Amino acid sequence: MTEVLFALNFDITTSEEQFAQAGWRGPWVCPPGTPPVCPECRRTNEKLGVPMEIAWDPGVGNIGDFTWMWNNTEALVTERAATSLARHFDDFEFAPIVFRRRGNPFMRRTRMMTYNGDPLPDGFRLMHLKIKHLVSCDLAQSSLTLTNRCDTCKREGYDLEGVENWVGRKPGKGIFVPREAARGFRAFRVRQYCGPQLVTELVRKVIEDEGLTNVVFVEYGEFC
């Protein structure tokens, strides 16, 4: 029986009209003794530190249960969403964030701010949704094409064919993950193509049953 994998994404039918978006400002940290970028391929070696620093993108002030970063690969979640996910799954972590004033990214605020500078309701909190697991896909079955390989940092880049955001995948295309590699995980990223946050049908059902807002599920692949 085919078990489909879905990528989390924002709801394109409502997000641009109803929900604010956000973007990270850092902090960027690098492992000790490691240069900020690879001298050969120029890929960054820096990673987001904790707490993530957030600035709101101009837009409407409604806050969904999922608030998406500018590249749609990272999300903030409300306490309601975090409580729901943590109650059902052990695949997620929820990290603290710091809000900055829009228009002056170097000025901290002690209270969280919406995009237009109005304070959020007392007690309202958002957290950075992080997926714990990183697994390897089956490259022979997946529709991933190697585009570059760096001899210095050993990283590889891939293009994904036959999958389109908010549309889904063409028959036989997508990311195929061996069940033994996933080890029973219900949410994970794929090492060779780590942007999408992939979840199983069970995660999708819980999120939909709980009525969490500003999130949709794009068919990205399946277990093999």
The pLDDT > 90 percentage for the chain reads: 53
Task: Between 128 and 98, name the one with better pLDDT.
Answer: 128
**Mean of the per-residue pLDDT values for the chain?**
84
Could you report the per-residue pLDDT of 71-94, keeping only the tens digit for each?
678 899 999 999 999 999 999 999
Q: Where are the domains of the chain?
A: 12-131, 134-223
Tokens of 201: 């049908």
Question: Facing residues of 126 across strands?
Answer: 78
- Give the 3-state secondary structure of residue 124: coil
Position 166 confidence tier, pLDDT thresholds 50, 70, 90: confident
Task: Answer whether residue 70 shows pLDDT above 70.
Answer: no
pLDDT of residue 216: 92
Task: Between 45 and 179, name the one with better pLDDT.
Answer: 179
pLDDT of residue 113: 41
Task: Answer whether residue 162 shows pLDDT above 50.
Answer: yes
Which of 43-52, 72-81, 132-141, 200-209 shows the lowest per-residue confidence on average (mean pLDDT)? 43-52
pTM over 0.95: no
* Closest C-alpha among 144, 148, 158, 128 to residue 220: 144
How many angstroms separate the CA atoms of 40 and 151, rounded? 8
Could you report the per-residue pLDDT of 14-67, keeping only the tens digit for each?
555 577 777 777 788 888 888 999 999 998 888 888 888 887 655 556 788 998
What letter represents residue 192's amino acid?
A: Q
Tokens of 124: 């309202």
Q: What does the pLDDT average to over 100-118? A: 43
Task: Answer whether residue 185 shows pLDDT above 90.
Answer: yes
Which of 17-21, 28-32, 98-102, 142-146 shows the lowest per-residue confidence on average (mean pLDDT)? 98-102
